[in-house]
Structure 1
Amino acid sequence: MLSELAPNHYFSGVALTRDLADDLHSFPSSVSSEEIWEKTVETIARIPEIIATWILEYLPDSQNFRLLALHGPSSFQIPETVSKYSLPCYHVVDSNMIFEMNLVGEDSFFSPLTQVLSEKNSIMYLGYPIRSDIGTVIGVIGMVVEDKFKHKFKNLKLIDVIADQLSQELIRFKNQNLIAETLNTAAFVKHSLAELFRLLSSTTNNLTEICRNYLQTGTKLFGLPLGLIASKIGDDWEYSLVEGNVHGIYEGQKFSHVESKFLSGSAVPSAIILKEISLASEGNVREHLLEVGVSSLMEFSLRVHNQTIAILGFYGLKNQTIQSVELFQKVFELMGIGLANQIEKHNINLLSKIVFLEKDSSNTR
């Protein structure tokens, strides 16, 4: 008990405490957030018995953590984005309190740290919440320490000061990102509406040219390298127009109704977006698209006279994901509705390369 109250070399007025405090107040205002994260974990790591430490931003919408900084042995790594329940840091979020646990038997991320200790001592996890100005957890300071963590309560007082400073910085960081995202969204919406107006204002009567303009515009707007219009021909389909030089996908390529696997076929016009094609969703994607490395997709059914006559689609390749699903969906749906209306306005049933409308069976009798 007396040893806890007595001055020690961790918290004497001339030793580590003052040095660490100086570190905390030494960041100039011009330093970026990324530098502050790195310098902070370096500061925390100077506390004896701390083997590794990291800072995570909590992303409640996706139930993930995003790694901001990590300090520890090179063998110890945490992915840039990690699901909430993959780390014991989730206990900190759920309880809004400091959390500790013994890591004996824990594999996953922590097994490399057991090799750092010269003796076979067990190691512990300590998690400290970074709270917003209304008290919700917006981040976590994670630490792996030796089980005989000396002066834990005094050390946690220092971590508390660090957490307060990180809270201010993380709030500023989130606000900056929100402002940047809002500005980017506004710019994208403005540009998208201008492009849609340009497409709808086209005076050409060449339906192939109209469709190709939509494909070219879509690939640029959404940043996806492959655009397709697949037309229904009888019971089968073909790629009537292809935008993007992708080996294995070409105009005139035919595939059966069984192979089609189009995700959008409802009577209500709506876009279907797979931001990332996973093993679970591969069954809904055409095999030849998987073979060329399609990793994300956007598809919209073009309906004329209450019939699905074609599919407008844009596709990412080689692990490319779709970031702004909600925003892209609205713009994409407007684009698809606009193209369907232009097809209906031109009332063209048959084009040299594109068959959009099936002839009524009554006309063939």
Structure 2
Amino acid sequence: MLSELAPNDYFSGISLSFDLADDLHSFGSERSSEVVWEQTVKTIARIPEIISTWIFEYLPESQNFRLLALHSHSEFQIAPIVPKYSVPCYHVVDSNMIFELNLAGDESFFIPLAKTLSDKTSAMYLGYPIRSDIGTVIGVIGMVVEAKFKHKFKNLKLIDVIADQLSQELIRYKNEQLISETLNTASFVKHSLAELFRLLSAKSSDLTTTCRNYLQTGTKLFGLPLGLITSKIGDDWEYSLVEGYVHGIYEGQRFSKEESKFSLSHSHNSAIIRNEISSSSVEVREHLLEAEISCLMEFPLKVHNQTIGILGFYGIKNQKIESIELFQRVFELMGIGLANTIEKHNIDLLSKIVFLEKDSLPTE
């Protein structure tokens, strides 16, 4: 294997052997992508002049890098996800070329690494692009190397071969992720539509049972442990129905208009989704923060164009909402369905009252 070669067999400048060529040819065969990433950085790190090396996947949609693997001879760590412009690898993406940077400059990304270097001026950053089949950068091989990089040309030729192999592996990995996400999305859409149809088709004269059924369905669909239906009581608000247990949140709990923080955020007929909430969040009630609510989905229940309540689902601690755009659409359909059910229930109830009043009128 590549990683089993003694460094001087190639890295001292000796040409590629047939064994090495065969090894590169079978680079990613029958191995998981994670194993390929790890073995690759270990292989690159065997070049004597390389201090640290890592592989980034570039995520253009979010303008982030995702760490695939890291190998370092010193105590150097990289977060799993890092913003594009917080690391020098962005130069590689923007230029679509190899990029070099002397660490004598003020680069905060390398501060933890620089502390372990005996002479910061003797090291440099080297970034190598991993390109797609149409030439765009989909990843970066990042390296910290000694400034006196022996046999630099020959070593870069090896890294070029490795980058080509990584390109094929990363394309395959991205395709597998896309297929998996598409299948999961299709499965969720199919399941959620079936659940929405079931909710809308249910016949029940008990509005409380219907509302609780919506809450139970929502907590399962969205994977959030707390569901609330909050009702407007005069100028105040009340948690009329609670599905799930979170300490400090209970049915019958009331709070004032000032505490509700509903008036502005729910003026439009659309869902409010917050994946990160904190004490500075202007749309989050303080008692939710005290209960360690970490994310929320809320939708105004409007009857006769008046907001009479809020349908909400909430995550706790460090929980996040996944597939926000997809969840939002399904959630809004659920909220509209529940609001229509409440409105129809009220109309039916009013019709019965009018019918009874007509029956009670004296006949002439």
Provide TM-score, normalisation by structure 2: 0.88
Matches within 5 A, 1:57-206: 57-73=57-73, 75-106=75-106, 108-118=108-118, 121-206=121-206
Q: CA-to-partner distance for each residue in 1:193-238, whole Å, 9 max, x for gaps?
A: 0101111111111111100000000000000011101101111101
Amino acid of the residue matched to residue 108 of structure 1?
A: S
Q: Could you say which residue in structure 1 is the equivalent of 2:332?
A: 333
Q: Could you say which residue in structure 1 is the equivalent of 2:5?
A: none
Quote the sequence identity (%).
76
| Alignment partner of 1:299 is 2:298 | yes
Q: Could you say which residue in structure 1 is the equivalent of 2:14?
A: 12
Amino acid of the residue matched to residue 175 of structure 2?
A: N
Matches within 5 A, 1:152-301: 152-262=152-262, 264-267=265-268, 269-278=269-278, 282-301=281-300
C-alpha spacing 1:319/1:222, structure 2 compared with 1 (3 Å): same
C-alpha spacing 1:11/1:109, structure 2 compared with 1 (3 Å): same
Q: CA-to-partner distance for each residue in 1:270-327, whole Å, 9 max, x for gaps?
A: 11111222565x2221100011111111010000000000000001110111110000
Q: For the residues of structure 2 that align with 1:150 and 1:273, how far apart are their CA atoms?
A: 54
Contact 2:274-2:297 within 8 A present in 1 as well: yes
Q: SS at 1:229's partner residue?
A: strand
C-alpha spacing 1:348/1:289, structure 2 compared with 1 (3 Å): farther
C-alpha spacing 1:206/1:8, structure 2 compared with 1 (3 Å): closer
Q: SS at 1:204's partner residue?
A: coil
C-alpha spacing 1:274/1:227, structure 2 compared with 1 (3 Å): same
C-alpha spacing 1:198/1:36, structure 2 compared with 1 (3 Å): same
Q: For the residues of structure 1 that align with 2:10 and 2:318, how far apart are their CA atoms?
A: 53
Q: For the residues of structure 1 that align with 2:21 and 2:282, how far apart are their CA atoms?
A: 56
C-alpha spacing 1:22/1:8, structure 2 compared with 1 (3 Å): closer
Matches within 5 A, 1:339-354: 339-347=338-346
Q: Could you say which residue in structure 2 is the equivalent of 1:361?
A: none
Q: SS at 1:143's partner residue?
A: strand
Deviation for aligned residue 1:110 = 1.8
Q: For the residues of structure 2 that align with 1:122 and 1:348, how far apart are their CA atoms?
A: 80
Contact 1:51-1:113 within 8 A present in 2 as well: no
Contact 2:102-2:121 within 8 A present in 1 as well: no
Contact 1:218-1:314 within 8 A present in 2 as well: yes
Deviation for aligned residue 1:48 = 1.7
Amino acid of the residue matched to residue 202 of structure 2?
A: S
Q: For the residues of structure 2 that align with 1:155 and 1:138, how far apart are their CA atoms?
A: 22
More helix by share: 2
Q: In angstroms, what is the RMSD of aligned CA positions?
A: 2.2
C-alpha spacing 1:61/1:120, structure 2 compared with 1 (3 Å): closer
Q: For the residues of structure 2 that align with 1:258 and 1:21, how far apart are their CA atoms?
A: 71
Contact 1:241-1:251 within 8 A present in 2 as well: yes
Q: Could you say which residue in structure 2 is the equivalent of 1:52?
A: 52
Q: SS at 1:259's partner residue?
A: helix
Deviation for aligned residue 1:13 = 3.4
Deviation for aligned residue 1:118 = 4.7
Q: For the residues of structure 1 that align with 2:128 and 2:15, how far apart are their CA atoms?
A: 25
Q: For the residues of structure 2 that align with 1:252 and 1:278, how far apart are their CA atoms?
A: 25
C-alpha spacing 1:13/1:129, structure 2 compared with 1 (3 Å): closer
Q: SS at 1:297's partner residue?
A: strand
C-alpha spacing 1:201/1:120, structure 2 compared with 1 (3 Å): closer
Amino acid of the residue matched to residue 286 of structure 1?
A: R
Provide TM-score, normalisation by structure 1: 0.88
C-alpha spacing 1:32/1:9, structure 2 compared with 1 (3 Å): closer
C-alpha spacing 1:265/1:57, structure 2 compared with 1 (3 Å): same
Deviation for aligned residue 1:19 = 7.0
Q: For the residues of structure 2 that align with 1:59 and 1:183, how far apart are their CA atoms?
A: 21
C-alpha spacing 1:345/1:9, structure 2 compared with 1 (3 Å): closer
Contact 1:264-1:271 within 8 A present in 2 as well: no
Q: CA-to-partner distance for each residue in 1:320-343, whole Å, 9 max, x for gaps?
A: 111100000010000000000000
Q: CA-to-partner distance for each residue in 1:83-136, whole Å, 9 max, x for gaps?
A: 111110011111111111111254534233334445565311101111111111
| Alignment partner of 1:42 is 2:42 | yes
Q: CA-to-partner distance for each residue in 1:55-91, whole Å, 9 max, x for gaps?
A: 0001111111100000003510001111111110011
Deviation for aligned residue 1:8 = 8.5
Q: For the residues of structure 2 that align with 1:175 and 1:211, how far apart are their CA atoms?
A: 41
Q: For the residues of structure 1 that align with 2:140 and 2:239, how far apart are their CA atoms?
A: 50
C-alpha spacing 1:318/1:342, structure 2 compared with 1 (3 Å): same
Q: For the residues of structure 2 that align with 1:150 and 1:19, how far apart are their CA atoms?
A: 23
